[in-house]
Homo-oligomer: A and B are copies of this chain.
Amino acid sequence: MTKYQEIATELINLIRSGTYRPWGAMEGEHMLAKRYQVSRATIRKALNVLKEQGYIHSRQGSGIYVNPEEFYQERLVFTMSDRYRRTSLDSKALKFKIEEATPEFDKLFNLGSDKRLVHYLRLRLFEKNPFTMEETWMPVELFPSLTKETLKGSIMKYMEELGYVISHDFKTISAVVLADQYAKPLHKPIGSLSLQITHHVYLLKSVLAQITIETQGDNVMNALSVREQ
């Protein structure tokens, strides 16, 4: 950990623990630099981390102010780190098959000689309550070691352990009516309205590694945008 990261982590903990009050002022940069025995530039770098994550905002000539909780709770909905943090949640594999790719998938994944795809269905639970269903396809040629066991943990972590670097994740959100296959495991009535997010996860150089259709149990999703920091 670098200095600015350590300071950022500590300041975030202070905010989360309530030491700094929402809308209240923080000590100035000079003061913080003196306290942590670093230069003002380092403090500014740490504060920048807090700004990016929505913990604070500042106004020139005025000071640094602590944001209320909603600012740093809701805004992460659409970041990739969100998917990473879900590792503490339970998973239940409902299906695990190796299939021949359809021509559409073959084209999307730009497959080589091995045309097989891992195709799985996974229910994700939070405190024993199902909240989302994932249907995923991944090329066997990239992930030959993928088994049903792997699904218990984080797929993202598994990909990184293999040495792959995840580059980006395209998401398409749309409204759907829950079909039988999804409604039952999610404990929802058939025909309920719900949100579906289709992920296209890419490795470096635009290599498509995973297509996931994530069907939510609940029909809500929150986001927050902040005008200025």
Q: A residues within 8 Å of B by Cβ?
A: 23, 68, 70-71, 74, 78-80, 165-177, 193-195, 205-206, 219-227
User: CB distance A171 to B224 under 8 Å?
Assistant: yes
Residue of B with least CB distance to A178: B175
Contacting A224 at CB < 8 Å: which of B70, B169, B176, B222? B169
- Interface contact B227-A166, CB-CB below 8 Å: yes
B222 and A194 contacting across the interface, CB-CB below 8 Å: no
Contacts of A220 in B (CB 8 A): 172-174
- How far apart are the CA atoms of A41 and B174 in the complex, in Å? 43
A221 proximity list for chain B (CB < 8 A): 172-174
Q: 16 additional contacts, CB 8 Å, given A168-B227, A175-B175, A175-B194? A: A78-B78, A80-B225, A80-B227, A165-B227, A166-B227, A167-B226, A168-B226, A169-B225, A171-B224, A172-B220, A173-B220, A174-B175, A174-B220, A174-B221, A176-B193, A193-B193
Do B170 and A74 have beta carbons less than 8 Å apart? yes
Residue of A169, A219, A221, A225 with most partner-chain B CB within 10 A: A225
Task: Kindly list chain B residues whose C-beta atoms are within 8 Å of the C-beta of A165.
Answer: 227
Chain B residues lying within 8 Å of A168, measured Cβ to Cβ, are 71, 224-227
Q: Contacts A175-B193, A175-B195, A175-B219: A170 and B80 contacting too (C-beta < 8 A)?
A: no
Distance between Cα atoms of A227 and B172 in the complex (Å)? 17
Q: How far is the CA of A174 from the CA of B79 in the complex (A)?
A: 18
Q: Which residues of B contact A23 (CB under 8 A)?
A: 205-206
Contact in complex: B79, A225 (CB < 8 Å): yes
